[in-house]
Each structure stands twice: as structure tokens, then as C-alpha cells.
Chains A and B, each alone.
Chain A
């Protein structure tokens, strides 16, 4: 049983560009959350998707958007990249009603 998978592993982009990160949840999980982890910090909640709808959003600007597909996989899009967007982006999934989330290995985004 595959856990949470994310692609790509690493990404280098230039300021002002746009990026799309992808996540496949653990089998049987229907809820996907995205987190941003800056160096030396704990992960910060970006948003959560359930039934293809954004259910809650953290304190991130509208440049951050997402999508969930009918197979529960998800994308995180970031527009107009800033240097400060450089971070590890983590996807987490859970089954409905459960508190414990399972995290993927993350995508390391570097903005130059």
C-alpha cells in the first residue's frame, strides 16, 4: 500500500513564475491538506480539500490556490513566485473522521 506521494521532489523556479505541485493521498483517504515548511520552522497550514472543495484556508495570499480531483489527488498552485516562497511543501492526507494525518516526503521549492 503506497503512502502519500508527491511530485516533483525538487523544483527550481525564478521569481514571478508559476508552479504546480502534485499529491496523491494514501489509499482510502479522502481529505488532503497542504503545508509550507520554511527552514527551521514547523509546517504552516495552507489549506485543506475535501470532496473537491477547499474546506479551510490558512493565512496565505490568493497566489496560493489548489484543486482536488475526483480520485482525491490534489494540486497546489503558486503564482507570481517570491523568494520567500522557497520552502518544503508537504501534502498530508487522512480518512474522513480521523485526526491523524499521513504526510508525503514533500517537494523542495527553490525560488531564485
Chain B
């Protein structure tokens, strides 16, 4: 049973526009969420995170929104740049030990 879902396998966005990546989860006990970016032949790189007690966290061009009632989080990238083209994974933490990852969304930013 997939507890963390990224229903869009891919997304294309024009350079300078907003990219919105979505993630849904099923377990209300998750208390921390993270977004990672992955380039080919590299490991995932931490982008931004949010605690379940908050509904928004911002870091430069990246903002994560958490809607606990809908069990939904989203990552906004504004403005999108060609270097943002990568696979983005959302991850949830059911406690302090492990991540549960979604299946990823491939973002392509068109110049």
C-alpha cells in the first residue's frame, strides 16, 4: 500500500513560470515532510522540509505548503530555471527513523 503518492509522473514548465509539484499521503501520524531533488547518477539532495505543526515553509525560490485536513503537500518553485530539471521526491516521516518516499515527479523546465 503506497502511503505517499505523487500522482504526476512528469511535469513541463516554461522557464520563469511557477512549478507546482504535488504529493498526497494517507497516514495522519506522519509528523514531518521533506522534498528531495535527484539528478541522474547522483543521490537525492535535500531541498526543503516542513513540520506537521506548520502549513508553510519558504526558502528562497522554494515554498512547501502542507494541508493536513486534505493530507496533501505541494512544492512551489518560483521562478523555475532550467537547472531545476530533475526528479523530485516527497518523503514523510512516521517517527524519527525512516523516510517513506513517493514515486517521484520528473520536472522539465523549458528554456
Contact = CB atoms under 8 A, between A and B. Distances in A.
Interface residues of B, number: 24
Interface stretch (A14-22, A61-69, A73-81, A95-103): A95-103
Nearest to A96: B96
Given A42-B89, A43-B89, A102 B100 contact: no
B97 A105 contact: no
Q: Which of B49, B97, B103 has the most CB of A within 10 A?
A: B97
Contact of A56 (B41, B97, B103): B97
Contacts of A40: 103
Contacts of B93: 99
Contacts of B32: 99
A101 B49 CA distance: 11
Given A100-B49, A102-B46, A43 B101 contact: yes
Interface in A21-76: 33, 35, 40-45, 48, 55-56, 58
B43 interface: yes
A45 B94 CA distance: 12
A43 B98 CA distance: 11
B59 interface: no
Given A42-B89, A100-B34, A90 B98 contact: no
B79 interface: no
Given A35-B99, A42-B102, 14 more contacts: A33-B98, A41-B104, A42-B91, A43-B44, A45-B99, A48-B97, A99-B34, A99-B93, A100-B34, A100-B46, A101-B46, A103-B44, A105-B41, A105-B43
Interface of B: 4, 6, 32, 34, 36, 41-46, 49, 89, 91, 93, 96-104
10 contacts: A42-B4, A42-B102, A42-B104, A43-B99, A45-B98, A90-B43, A99-B34, A99-B93, A100-B46, A104-B43
